[in-house]
Amino acid sequence: MNTTSEVTAATRRSIGFIGLGHMGGPMAANLVAAGYTVTGFDVVPAALEAAHAAGVVVAASAGEAATGADVVITMLPAGKHVFAAYDGDGPGGGLLAAAKPGSLFLECSTIAVEDARIAHEMVLATRHRGLDAPVSGGVVGAEAGSLTFMVGGSADDFADAAEIFEVMGKRIVHCGGPGAGQAAKVCNNMILGVSMIAVSEAFVLGEKLGLTHQALFDVAANASGQCWSLTANCPVPGPVPASPANRDYQPGFAGALMAKDLGLAVEALNATGVQASMGRAAEEIYRNFAQEGGSGTDFSAIINTIRAASD
């Protein structure tokens, strides 16, 4: 939590925020609540309305949101959207052209590692500064200001951005140079996807063997099977009341996003030549899951696909 003196200092630093959806909207709202002046833009009118209600100054274009800003934050679906926002020639121009010299760009989208490195080069080429800083924690973390930021870029820029990250998150890790934040994100989410499939398969097996969900949870949560997919996002209702399984698998972290992130992981596997049979299998499973109706449900709903295939 910022002290009074920190909040006063924050008001002298303006922020342009591009992408005010389920993640970006709450992140921008937390910055406003901490005393920052935030000017935002999104292509979805409802997102702009919600941001305005939270105190964000609404701009007519991305370029307008970046004009005069000390810090520019992007939270967009994919690398191509980041490139278009940075270098676009639409109304208001691109962010790089609109921002004042030396602005700090915080690229918080989840994109390919190579795309993050290209975006960083674009920022430097236009005499700005930049960090790739994807997040973990989902919508709940964005709303609570408890996200984890995985950051790539220079140590000086990381230190300069620290007070901003600390408003939106509770754990901020400097992972290395440009692209390192995205590298950490794809590795982490490959673990997450594989572990959720394993946990779901174990619960379905337990059902077939006559175990109650609670009995299996009580054992695995306190033994070597313990993991976040079990103890925080348990795929069956009951043992973890806050898990999406208790809300008919409303996300949370949507199946479409897990499919996307595992696709980025496979892209990185192919680029590096790493042999990773579990990561590739998880990508195929979640790609099919998203294509067959699971895209809008929490990724833990994969248990229903496993259960249906086990009858």
List, for residues 171-224, the tens digit of each pLDDT value: 999 999 999 999 999 999 999 999 999 999 999 999 999 999 999 999 999 999
Bridge-partner residues for 150, per DSSP? 173
Amino acid at 41: F
Q: What is the mean pLDDT of the chain?
A: 93
What amino acid positions are annotated as catalytic residues? 185
**What is the mean predicted confidence (pLDDT) over 120-146?**
94
- What is the Cα–Cα distance from 73 to 38, expressed in whole angstroms? 10
- The rounded distance, in Å, linking the Cα atoms of 40 and 67 is 11
Span 252-277, mean pLDDT?
Answer: 96
pLDDT digits (tens, 9 = 90+) for 62-120: 999 999 999 999 999 999 999 999 998 654 559 999 999 999 999 999 999 999 999 99
Residue 111: closest CA among 147, 152, 84, 80: 80
What percent of the chain clears pLDDT 70, i.e. is strictly above it?
95
Which helix (H) or strand (E) segment holds residue 219: the answer is helix 213-220
> What pLDDT shows up at residue 89?
62
Q: Distance (Å, rounded) from C-alpha 142 to C-alpha 251? A: 13
Q: Residues 6 or more apart from 164 whose CB is under 8 A from it? A: 15, 31, 36, 71, 73, 106
The per-residue pLDDT for 36 is: 96
| Residue whose pair of structure tokens reads 């002046």 in the numeric block | 37
Q: Hey, what amino acid is at 117?
A: R
Report if pTM > 0.85.
Answer: yes
Which amino acid, one-letter code, is at 289?
F
